[in-house]
Structure 1
Amino acid sequence: MSDPISSIRNLGPAFEKACARVGIRSAQQLRDMGPDEAYARVLRAGTRPHFIGYYVLVMGLQGRPWNDCKGDEKKALRQRFDAIKASVTAMPETQMISDLDAIGVRVSPDDLKPV
């Protein structure tokens, strides 16, 4: 059995769930893919971009504490994050679903059918 994503330092159940939505199911798969590709996939699925989330992932894959990123290294990661964010365009309906999930509201397809 493969180690779960949450076995990687700094990464918990919420990120594990986001990864599962895009087909990343194990810690090894995440390591092999690398942080940039994995984060881009998660964003394409509708997760809102957040710099701290990105660098927590990078630090975790390096086996480092999440808050170990400082100075020039943090600036370089910010540039990588900005490039990833700029390259990812979520479908409008995917973003809407993500926005509704963020506030705890989700409309099912059955709710949209005429009565």
Structure 2
Amino acid sequence: MSAISTIRNMGPKMEAQFARAGLTTAEELHALGADEAYRRLVVGGHKPHFIAYCALVLGLQDRGWKSLSDAEKPDLRKRFDAIKSRPAKSELDQFLDDFGLGS
């Protein structure tokens, strides 16, 4: 199992934020994908920040956070705004989703 900080753009502070959200390995983030991983980060108390979200998206693609092109920004902004607008799930709902039993 690899530490989250092994993902490009993810340093110790983001690793600590993800740990507070219950995510501790790079493999978990890759399996969840950027949107779900960031949603869990926000539900865990992280203040949503577009640049942090972009850094995660690009890091999971093994790209530097400054490599984001102007053409990519509108799509990422829509995805980020959707994550911010989703209501937080209860622990039971999240548990059921994690096991493929959610609604």
TM-score (norm 2): 0.81
- 2:45 maps to 46
Q: How does 1:28-67 map to 2 (within 5 A)?
A: 28-67=27-66
| TM superposition shift of 1:46 | 1.2
Q: Which residue of 2 aligns with 1:7?
A: 6
Distance 1:39 1:88 in 2: 13
Pair 1:48–1:88, CA change in 2 (3 A):
farther
**Alpha-carbon distance in structure 2 between the residues aligned to 1:6 and 1:58:** 14
What is the distance in 2 between the residues matched to 1:22 and 1:89? 12
Deviation at 1:70, TM superposition (A): 1.5
Identity between Structure 1 and Structure 2 (%)? 47
CA distance in 2, matches of 1:80, 1:88: 15
Residues 43, 88 of structure 1: 8 Å contact kept: no
Whether 1:84 and 2:83 are equivalent positions in the alignment is: yes
Give the length in aligned residue pairs.
89
Structure 2: which amino acid aligns with 1:26?
Answer: T
Partner Cα distance (1:83, 1:11) in 2: 22
Structure 2: stretches of 5+ with no match in the other structure:
90-103
Shift of 1:89: 4.6
Instruction: Give the structure 2 partner of residue 69 of structure 1.
Output: 68
Contact 1:40–1:88, Cα closer than 8 Å, also in 2: no
Match of 1:72, SS?
A: coil
Q: What do you get for the CA RMSD once the two structures are aligned?
A: 1.3
Q: Give the TM-score normalised by the residue count of structure 1.
A: 0.73
Instruction: Report which of the two structures shows the higher radius of gyration computed on alpha carbons.
Output: 1
